[in-house]
Amino acid sequence: MSYYGSVITELFVDKIKNMGNKIKTMDDKINPDYYKGKIQPIDLIESLDLDFNTGNVVKYVARHKKKNGLEDLLKAQFYLDRMITNYKTKS
């Protein structure tokens, strides 16, 4: 598991366990193979009520091994950098 995957799992383990029947496993263009697993990223994002940037970090990190590798990690980094910049600006 990647560093980010471990951090996300540690932070949200209770939420993940309580998702139960929200888990989806559809076989279509909206839910491609690289999103299939025990937990759909969109279900996690919605259950935690994450904002756009945070949701994209979760999405791109979750799929990077099965889809675009480094490209997806760089996309996640882009959104994380925006979050950091916004955080610093607000502080």
For 16-43, give one letter per residue: b (16+ CB within 10 A) or e. beebeeeeeeeeeeeeeeebeeebbbbe
Mean pLDDT per block of 10 residues along the chain (91 residues) reads: 56 55 51 67 92 96 90 96 95 77
Residue of 49, 52, 22, 56 lying closest to 38 (CA atoms) = 22
44-53 residue pLDDT tens: 999 999 999 9
Give the pLDDT confidence score for residue 25 in this predicted structure: 45
C-alpha 30/C-alpha 79 separation (Å) is 22
DSSP, collapsed to helix, strand or coil, labels residue 68 as: coil
Give the pLDDT confidence score for residue 67 in this predicted structure: 87
Instruction: Tell whether pTM > 0.75.
Output: no
Q: What are the phi and psi torsion angles at 29 (to 5°)? A: -70, -25
